[in-house]
Structure 1
Amino acid sequence: MSDYRASAFINPNADEHGTHSVISYVTWTWRDGTGANVTGEFFRAKSPHGPITLGHLGLHVAAACLDLPHEWFTDEFSEHIAELLTRAIAVAPYAEVSCPHGKLTVELMCNIMPPHRDNAA
C-alpha cells in the first residue's frame, strides 16, 4: 500500500510506447564522499496512477550517466537493484541502496506536465 500519491510524480501523457515517464534525481556517492548526480526519466508507469517501476534500461541509462562501472551491471545484479528500488518507490518518493562501494539515492520529482486535452469545442 502506498503512503503517497504516486500520480503526483507521473507524467499523465503516455509516450509512443504507451507508458508514462517519471522524472527522478539520482545521486551516486562513493565511500570517499565524491560522486555524481543526474536527472532523467529512468522510471516508468503503465498508467498515470502507477505503479512506478524501474526497468533494466532505466537502470543502465542512469548508471552510464553516473559513470558507474559497466561490469557491475550483470543481468542478475540489475534485476536485483531494479526490484529493490521499485519496491522502495512503491511506498515513498525516495529510495536508497548501499553497497561496499557507495550509496545510490533516488528522489522522484513532482510532475508539472498538464494532461493533453482534446480541443473539440
Structure 2
Amino acid sequence: IPLGVWTIPITAGWIFVVSKTMDTIDGLDGLAAGVSAIAALALALMALQAADMLDQPYPNWLIAITAAAIAGAAGGFLRYNFNPARIFMGTGGAQFLGFMLAGLSVIGAFKTAT
C-alpha cells in the first residue's frame, strides 16, 4: 500500500509504539526479554527465508545477523531476569530492544518488498 506523504509519520509512530510497548511490558520478570528473544528469532528466520527466495543475500543477511544477535543477547539476559530476577533491564534496555525490533521489522519489510 503506497502511503505517500504519510510514510515517515507512520514509520516514526511504529517505532515509538513498539519502543514504549517494550518499556511497558518490562514490569514483569522475564517478559520483555522473552518477547524480544522470540520476536528477534522470528525476524532472523524470516530474513534468512527472504534471502533465499529473493536472491538478495547482502541486506537480508545483515538483518538476519543483527536479529540473531539481539535474540542471543535477550536470551542470555533472560537467564538472569527470569523469576526471581537478579538483574533488571531498565527503561533504556527495554526501549533499545523495542527500537531495534521495530527498526529491523521496517528495514526487513522494505528490503523484501523491493
TM over 0.5: no
Structure number having the greater strand percentage? 1
Give 1 or 2: higher helix fraction: 2
